[in-house]
Structure 1
Amino acid sequence: MSFSIGLSGLQAAAKDLEVTGNNVANSGTIGFKKSRAEFADIYASSFYTCVNKSAVGVRLDAVTQQFSQGNVELTDNTLDLAINGEGFFVLNSEAGQDGKVYTRNGAFQVDRDGYVVNSSGQRLQAYPPTTPNSAVSAFDTGKLEDIQLPLDNMAPKATTEVELQVNLNSDETVITGTTPPGPAFAFPTAPATDVDPTSYNWSTTYQVYDSLGKPRDVTMYFVKTAPDNWAVHVGMRDSAGVMQDVGGGTNTAIFTAAGVFDTATSTPNPIAVSVGPFLTPPDDNGAGALAFSIDMSNSTQYHNSRNNLNDVTQDGYTSGTLSGFDVDADGAIFSRYSNGKSYVLGQVAMANFKNPQGLQQLGDNNWGESYNSGEPIYAAAGDGRLGSIQSCALENSNVDLSQELVNMITAQRNYEANAKTISTSDQMTQTILNIR
């Protein structure tokens, strides 16, 4: 009996050393989770008694994984992703159930087809955007698909909408169309001449984009015709340099007694701009006709204030070359372009389990679903118990080398003590055999 007790102790200590050695060996493995050997004592049972009283050894009960957080180390690769908190990345692989495996190793790269993959070529799963090729951060969370990064350039987009916020000085002089104070407003007909500056109170210029992405200057002229009333003219130069009327003639901007733009009486609002044939050949780039609207609803008119262009936004842009990618804390992936625009490409999908310790180890830092782990719960970073995602960072192994070295010494002492038990039992047996 003593031999079997000592032998079970030797086997347990050897297994403890094996688990500790595996932890030490993987202390530098990204996303590795350490394991712990758990033991149970063995009792001899008697047919005639219901209480076990005689201990006869020890056995390995389980090797459990410890999913505590590892230290996060910063890197210079945007596609290096670390999870702060609970959860796993989802990878597409035929090795797992339904082709899915799970990992904490966020060292990703791009393959030749633009897919985000790990070192084994398994593709990262993400939720696709509901509006492709846009900056709208809305995702179809009912669908998982391989995330593919575009490697081509962004095409230009012609301006279709302009939102203009100006402030006009209510103290400006009313221009009646006679001199003084000034002549009636009129666009010039000769290339070398401009609009008479005495025929308007203030002008401002901003840019829109044509169908080929070329910036075009738009000039707006404001003429005060009565208290709280302004005439608005919109002009653009043709290929010969002549300022042309593209705003459909005279538009009116009317303000309330509080200086707020009156959308009910201002006509039209928004102003419809139609740029005719002068943006087509013989222009220098052959762009097509351009049509856009100008919304002035947020404009104001205040006393003793300067005429000023406070803000202008428009939805057109020039072409752009791909300059990089960004990943935010919610896992949304954006492509950045040289024209300052960005597209939402998808949102990194994450998974969690009721019992992560029940996951099946598959190697290569991957786990698979098992009966003990329960089914995966898919969501985005930050949802429920899921942690956040940090770009340009990797989660290191959660192995504490100091603790593992202490465990190694303890397991070694246990091994030596159990070996001594066997040696002592052998001496006792030899003594009995020597009795004459």
Structure 2
Amino acid sequence: MLRSLFSGVTGLKSHQTKMDVIGNNIANVNTYGYKSSRTTFRDVYYQTISAATAATGDRGGSNASQIGYGTSVASIDMLNSRTGFAATGRSMDLYIDGEGYFVIQDGAGNERLTQVGTFGFDGDGNLTDGNGNFVCGYSVKELTSTVSVGGAKVDFGTKADGSKNGGGFLEGYTVKVQYVTTTPTDVVKVDHDDKVITVALVQDTSVTPAKLPTKADFQTALQTSSWTITGTLPKDESGAEIDFNATAIFDKSKIAVIGSDNDKTKNDLVKETTGKIAEEAKFEGDAKEQANVKKIINTHGEMKNIAVGTDGTITGEDISGKIQIIGRLAIANVPNPDALQHEGNSYYKAVNNMGVITYSAPGADNTGTLRSGGLEMSNVDLANEFSDMIMTQRGFQANSKIITVSDEMLETLVNLKR
């Protein structure tokens, strides 16, 4: 039989595989998060008719003579190029603006990765994706009350009993810093009626121009000064009045100012600055290991106005109108995303040759931040796909001609004897 007949058959099979890949790419041109694939070919076995010989004193060298046996598919590669943001207007549709994958878990605990962030809460409070599987991340471990005043970030810590609702007693309060020239009678005053905490700090008038207090002075004042309480005292969860001087409220040793100390002249800052106290969360297992990534559950009951921040923090408004922190999404960082295996339903499976997958909050460890209100578009390039389709069609036709001509040659050979 003719070798060209077998070469033509391998060419037909290879080009058919490439057309299958092109067809799947075009079919998914509008599939959110889809990554297109490409097909590469390589030549296969060669028969050596004559080997290469070296030159001698009276004869020149000769090159080898080889006949090939066609082509085969070398690889089908996933193209992980980034693509555009498709706005949907839905707050729980999320786009990863950079590298990384959302972490999904099915009912059996099997982990999958995806870049399609069509999320929402079910009736039991579980955060799920469009396929009904659980979305993983970090749950809230502890809430603290913090405020940023004049560039200084103050952490008021948590309740002394370590309860989860640590900073809630300060919700809605404003810290006001006043710069004065003489030491006041009351350094820290708390007005519960107006929900204002006033801290008076003394300027250094021994130099010209007078220096404003440093961030360390702010910290010292909050930690060591006696607090003058005015107004109606608020009540805690048990109905007891809250006294800021009582050790049961918060641990003053946890009051800290984050940032370096900078002396600033009175010309650099206004003489009065304020900051609104807000709740911030510390999350359980906020680390790189897979074991720390769990499904996210809303434990606050019915919520509205649910939103996701760029760092993956999920917040919502409960029935009382209070903003609650529900959890934080995790992002998987895959060293070799080209090795991911398609699982269908826009999922990828972790297999060999990917490297060690690490997990972090969006925006950390080289992962992308999140954008709410849209999804990632397919990266299929229709112009490229149609061009490849034409070349694949012509290649298939050319290989079919090889088979046709080889058949005619064999027919001529058979008809030599009549």
Equivalent pair of 2:104/2:114 in contact (CA under 8 Å): yes
User: Equivalents in 1 of 2:302, 2:326: separation in Å?
Assistant: 16
Describe the SS at the equivalent of 2:95. Answer: strand
The offset of 1:358, in angstroms, is: 1.6
In the TM superposition, what is the alpha-carbon distance from 1:337 to its structure 2 partner?
5.9
Change (3 A) 1:162 1:431: closer
What 5-or-longer segments of structure 1 have no aligned partner? Answer: 138-153, 171-204, 209-215, 221-231, 233-252, 281-285, 294-307
**2:105 maps to 1:92:** yes
Q: 1:377 to 1:206 in 2, by over 3 A?
A: closer
Using a 3 Å threshold, how does the CA distance of structure 1 residues 12 and 380 change in structure 2: closer, same or farther? same
Partner of 2:34: 32
Given candidates 268, 272, 277, the residue that maps to 2:228 is 272
For the Cα contact (< 8 Å) 1:274–1:292, is it kept in 2? Answer: no
CA distance in 2, matches of 1:345, 1:119: 20
Q: CA deviation at 1:313?
A: 5.3
1:60 alignment partner, SS class:
strand
Q: Confirm or deny: 8 A CA contact 2:181 2:202 kept in the other structure.
A: no
| Structure 1 counterpart of 2:130, from 106, 114, 119 | 119
Q: 1:63 aligns with which of 72, 76, 95?
A: 76
Q: Which moved more, 1:339-348 or 1:76-85?
A: 339-348
**Higher gyration radius (CA):** 1
Residue 393 of structure 1, CA deviation: 1.5
Q: How does 1:107-146 map to 2 (within 5 A)?
A: 107-131=118-142, 133-134=143-144
Q: Distance in 1 between matches of 2:319 and 2:272?
A: 26
Following superposition, the deviation at residue 55 of structure 1 comes to 1.0
Deviations 1:43-94 (A, max 9, x none): 2345996978221111112211111112211221111111122221111126
Provide the secondary structure at the position in 1 that maps to 2:380. Answer: coil
Contact 2:234 2:241 in 1 (8 A): yes
1:331-410 superposed matches below 5 A: 331-336=312-317, 342-410=323-391
CA distance in 2, matches of 1:122, 1:392: 20
| Contact 2:337–2:354 under 8 Å retained in 1 | yes
Superposition pairs of residues 174-185 of structure 1, within 5 angstroms: none
Closer, same or farther: CA 273–162 of 1 in aligned 2, 3 Å: farther
CA-to-aligned-CA distance 1:243-300 (integer Å, 9 cap, x gap): xxxxxxxxxx8967849899999xx944332778x999xxxxx97545346xxxxxxx
Aligned to 1:17: 19
Change (3 A) 1:427 1:135: farther
| CA apart distance, 1:163 | 3.7
Alignment partners' CA distance in 1, 2:230 and 2:351: 64
Which segment is superposed worse, 418-427 or 332-341? 332-341
Under a length normalisation based on structure 2, what TM-score does the superposition of the two structures give? 0.64
The DSSP-based 3-state class of the residue aligned with 1:77 is coil
* TM-score under structure 1 length normalisation: 0.61
User: What secondary structure is seen at the aligned counterpart in 1 of 2:243?
Assistant: strand
SS of the counterpart of 2:81? coil
Match of 2:243 among 260, 273, 291: 291
Q: Distance in 2 between matches of 1:52 and 1:33?
A: 43
Shift of 1:403: 1.3
| CA drift at 1:217 | 5.2
Query: Number of residues paired by the alignment?
Result: 323
Partner Cα distance (1:375, 1:314) in 2? 40
Task: Return the offset for 1:395.
Answer: 0.3
- Distance of aligned partners of 1:52 and 1:388 in 2 relative to their CA distance in 1, 3 Å threshold: farther
1:315-350, Cα deviation, whole Å (9 max, x unpaired): 89xxx9944223222222233468886343333211
Per-residue CA shift, 1:125-157, capped at 9, x if unaligned? 1123442x55679xxxxxxxxxxxxxxxx9995
Are the equivalent residues in 1 in contact too, given 2:146–2:278 (CA < 8 A)? no
**Which residue in 2 is equivalent to 1:5?**
7
Q: Distance in 1 between matches of 2:336 and 2:277?
A: 51
Is this contact kept in 2: 1:83–1:104, CA < 8 A? yes
Is 2:402 the counterpart of 1:421?
A: yes
Structure-2 separation of matches of 1:432 and 1:4: 17
| Contact 2:177–2:273, Cα closer than 8 Å, also in 1 | yes
Equivalent of 1:77 in 87, 90, 98: 90
Residues 162, 15 of structure 1: alpha-carbon distance in 2 compared, 3 angstrom cutoff: closer
Give CA-to-partner distance per residue, 1:340-378, whole Å, 9 cap, x none. Answer: 863433332111323222222211111111112233222
Aligned partner of residue 311 in structure 2, secondary structure? coil
Give the alignment of 1:210-359 within 5 angstroms. 216=193, 258=205, 269-273=225-229, 289-292=241-244, 311=274, 322-336=303-317, 342-359=323-340
Q: Which residue of 2 aligns with 1:140?
A: none
Q: Which amino acid aligns with 1:107?
A: T
